[in-house]
Amino acid sequence: MNISGVVAAVAAGCALSLGASVAPAAHADRTTHTGAHTDRTQGLTTDHNPFSGYEGYCTWGAQELIHDHTGYYIKALTGNAESWADQAAAGGWTVVGDAQPHSIAVFSSALVGGVGHVAWVDTVRGNNMTITEMNTGFGGSAANAYRTTGFNQFDTRTTKEVPGISYILIP
């Protein structure tokens, strides 16, 4: 896992806002955030990553992290990152507006540009969340198919929970 100082992403499928410091994942339970959701509905799953052929993008990486934590992939999540919350809700998964550990954060394109970004939420403490993500870093552009210096690499960082992020709860 590549852990560096400040992460900036400028990727069509996997863009992030500037300025969040990187911190190792603590894999601890949620601590001080109110409004925790215990109802986690589950839609259809599959035994293969729907993004085969797109290795290295945030969507492929998020499906791999779901599989690492659960043993399945989510069948409904097949489009650009920014559409994942709508796809998940339509597919029977619980989608909420406040950060929860063991969920997928869906960053809107209004926040990060391109076609949004998705990441695994490891922990939440107050308004900070630690996420693990793929395809982050400098250098993404249309000319290089939005591949960044972090292409096909997982990174972990701590960032603020802000409006414009939805969370797909993973049972």
| pLDDT in the model for residue 9 | 33
| pLDDT in the model for residue 18 | 28
Mean pLDDT per 10-residue section of the chain, whose length is 171 residues: 33 34 32 55 96 93 98 96 97 97 94 89 97 78 65 90 96 93
Q: What domains are defined for the chain?
A: 6-24+42-169 (3.90.1720.10)
Cβ–Cβ < 8 Å for 140, 16: no
d(CA 106, CA 13): 11
